[in-house]
Structure 1
């Protein structure tokens, strides 16, 4: 997606299709002289929604990534209007780093670290959601379809419903939705539910996440001390299913709100095309031509289980199950939210473990762990996917995990093996992976060694497993995800 600055004038009118997300689909760079440049940002959401926006001459509302500076709307060369939302430094700290990522993120990931419940953060979260909603009303045509994305903007559907009842509103959550008994810790639980119920359709990755929401909606309805507008009761019909609406909630205003699962995926065709162009042999050579190359690719987040993965690898080297002369682990850890204490602590522990393992088992010029704390370009990253014998994806909790699907897409020849956490959403679809419990180091070690031995001793069985997963990823790509949700929304 090529981006050119092209300010929009009020005469251009409203948009029939609007996507609302925390970030715009571009990265903005500001030079010392104040000049701005724009480059497309990577990610499945951008890939999925860009074609839909192009077909509908749509608009994307989001934060451009800079604070304390206004920015005019601009267009991509393909006609997508990008409408920036201005945030202050305080907004960023309290709405994004605070309530979104120090309150909601740990709460939605099963309290891996304790959430912080701060009233000031909540008030800023509410105000920023109102700001996003107000910007949407300024760009949406009469009767437009608005698709709100993710946990940062859960109040937007409810606010839009009040400001613009003519809109058709969808909401999709890209992270897990926790069990009701955990969510009920949140002091502002009724407000979040009311915000989500402003939608016509609410989408989740898995039926379990949707069922968690349905249970929560029942449990907080009519809760003592709830604010005006909270329903006295919620009629919940059916159970959440995949890609079709089979469960409904009757909202306070009498609307039927559809709830279902729509598992997100990747642009499989693009991944396969890129993978065909890489030089995997060169990557393996630069790693010392190991007999077994193991790969981890993650944001450096405490939910990803990187430290536990390193510990399992260390123990296998220590026991002799893996030979340090023939094995190498490449861990790519993309920087993430480094101003937050839990993230800084996670990075320190991971890098300490890398140093310890290499100190014990490496030889001069031949480390057993190669560690990169930066993002890689798509070509280089996919080269690593193709080169790796085994991919380790071991999050404690993950809404989906598209890295696992990208790895599988890169192995259409049936090579390779995927060791995957049973707590990743993708484990439901990629059930021929070597599933492990990342909380249990022995489970990670056991599944890793089963994969190693199968690749060596029974390669036909390993090939069958990979080909089955590859077919699943090809048939269920990101375009199916977007079409399924929007079809459900428009027919609701």
Structure 2
């Protein structure tokens, strides 16, 4: 069973006007769909629209179990606590988090509803895999109700250092929720280390390597036989790299890439950035670096073009509305200062694209810019590499993205260092073709070997080991502190 904020399907309107469902295109769904089908699995999640009350249904061999959210819950649990409290806090407080008790109450209530749904549906001894920061209380709540289950949790975003995490008024309750899992997965080793340090500081539990000893309730925590072991370590997520390579080989996609360059006037160099419109992605930083290179004369707007795709994101949150205004003003200023009739140095596109179009853009781009200020992984970097079946192209990658741990043959940058970003762009533009191909070969080898199927298999293998270890010992009882109200 998978428990995630969103269902694995999206609602669609059929040609005859009836409502139907299609599998979501995300990497998580791609990774888990074969496993879920073979295991006769269930996927619990929110359908994505307010007050949508739908009974469980079958789709593609998977039981979909919708959880309804009303307007207040969307505002408080999702837009509020998840995306205006946890998201900025977990991304190094790039934007200031907001702490509101009513948001927390809604977060607890919704997490409890997800946990109750899973507890009611899971068969005896089932494996339940909970996903992401919106549902951090579910493992603990689920363990209270169903100690027979094997529970995994994967955090798709960073986990902050204790100095930042300690600001959260409900810091102990979140940790207790997560420690209900048998295996807790993070994108980077540093994230797992941050989590373990928070557990030591707040609870004093023993941690050794990737293991955390969690005492059972009402027992002497010094007695290891009266505790359970939680594994917390890195499982870096990846993509369905083979599908991107297959798309990149399709004649229509190759032709579309050629057409994109032609539509741009066949510039010497195409720079490309694609992100959700989010303050963590460093879009402002790359625009500033590019503008300065044009101003310095180190790049010529006549033969250099930057395509920036910024897909809409959380448009009801104030910080995102302000970010969009700032980026669009910056783009207008660059084009006004350096553009000419019939050509613009920046092509800014504020909407999403289907995967085929994205692969065509990857093929058309000479240089990929990933300037995230903080990112759990950044799968765009891996998508670009997987799509470059021609072995060409240069990836400029922030060292603050999880992908930088694996993709060492990219040009690694500190996005806060604008001068360093500028130098990396010039290096990429002027790089010898043989060096470009050498680096891309190494990057592609890494991405193709470590795809999303390997990620899910590795996590589930760890979870199976945890299940076996739990079965060999006494079944755990109710674990953790109550989710009482805290903070101001």
TM above 0.5, yes or no, is: yes
Q: Residue 423 of structure 1: which of 385, 400, 415 is its match?
A: 400
Q: What corresponds to 2:82 in structure 1?
A: 100
Is structure 2 residue 246 aligned with structure 1 residue 273? yes
> For the Cα contact (< 8 Å) 1:413–1:467, is it kept in 2?
no
Q: Cα–Cα, structure 1 residues 251 and 109, in superposed 2: closer, same or farther, change >3 Å?
A: farther
Structure number with the bigger relative contact order (C-alpha 8 A, sep ≥ 6) is 2
Q: Secondary structure at the match of 1:303?
A: helix
Q: Residue 65 of structure 1: which of 48, 55, 79 is its match?
A: 48
In 1, distance between residues paired with 2:368 and 2:435?
Answer: 17
Q: Deviations over 1:394-437 (max 9, x none)?
A: 01000000000000011133200001111000001001111111
Structure 2 matches for 1:229-240, cutoff 5 A? 233-238=204-209, 240=210
Q: Secondary structure at the match of 1:143?
A: coil
Structure 2 matches for 1:4-403, cutoff 5 A? 18-29=1-12, 35-76=18-59, 78-221=60-203, 233-238=204-209, 240=210, 247-253=211-217, 254-277=227-250, 278=253, 279=255, 280-403=257-380
Q: What corresponds to 1:463 in structure 2?
A: 437
Per mean C-alpha deviation after superposition, the further-off stretch among 273-282 and 115-124 is 273-282
Q: Secondary structure at the match of 1:371?
A: strand
Q: Residue 480 of structure 1: which of 451, 454, 469 is its match?
A: 454
4+ runs of 1 displaced by more than 4 Å? none
Q: Secondary structure at the match of 1:141?
A: coil
What RMSD over aligned residues (CA atoms) do the two structures have, in Å? 1.3
> For the Cα contact (< 8 Å) 1:28–1:66, is it kept in 2?
no
> For the Cα contact (< 8 Å) 2:85–2:97, is it kept in 1?
yes
When normalised by structure 2's length, the TM-score is 0.91
Per mean C-alpha deviation after superposition, the further-off stretch among 103-112 and 353-362 is 353-362
Q: What corresponds to 2:485 in structure 1?
A: none
In 1, distance between residues paired with 2:458 and 2:212?
Answer: 17
Q: Deviations over 1:300-333 (max 9, x none)?
A: 0010011111111111111111111100000000
Q: How far does residue 30 in structure 1 lie from its aligned partner after superposition?
A: 6.8
When normalised by structure 1's length, the TM-score is 0.90
Q: Deviations over 1:245-303 (max 9, x none)?
A: xx333344521111111000000111100111112111111111110000000000010
> For the Cα contact (< 8 Å) 2:249–2:389, is it kept in 1?
no
In 2, distance between residues paired with 1:282 and 1:40?
Answer: 30
> For the Cα contact (< 8 Å) 1:332–1:373, is it kept in 2?
yes
Equivalent pairs counted in the alignment come to 452
Structure 2: gaps (5+ residues) = 218-226, 467-488
Q: Deviations over 1:104-129 (max 9, x none)?
A: 00000000011101000001000000
Q: How far does residue 36 in structure 1 lie from its aligned partner after superposition?
A: 2.5
Q: Residue 412 of structure 1: which of 367, 380, 389 is its match?
A: 389
Q: What corresponds to 1:7 in structure 2?
A: none
> For the Cα contact (< 8 Å) 2:182–2:463, is it kept in 1?
yes
Structure 1: gaps (5+ residues) = 1-17, 222-232, 241-246
In 2, distance between residues paired with 1:206 and 1:471?
Answer: 20
Q: How far does residue 34 in structure 1 lie from its aligned partner after superposition?
A: 9.2
In 1, distance between residues paired with 2:163 and 2:215?
Answer: 22
In 1, distance between residues paired with 2:324 and 2:229?
Answer: 45
Q: Secondary structure at the match of 2:230?
A: strand
In 2, distance between residues paired with 1:249 and 1:365?
Answer: 65
> For the Cα contact (< 8 Å) 1:47–1:267, is it kept in 2?
yes
Q: Secondary structure at the match of 2:460?
A: helix
Q: Secondary structure at the match of 1:165?
A: coil
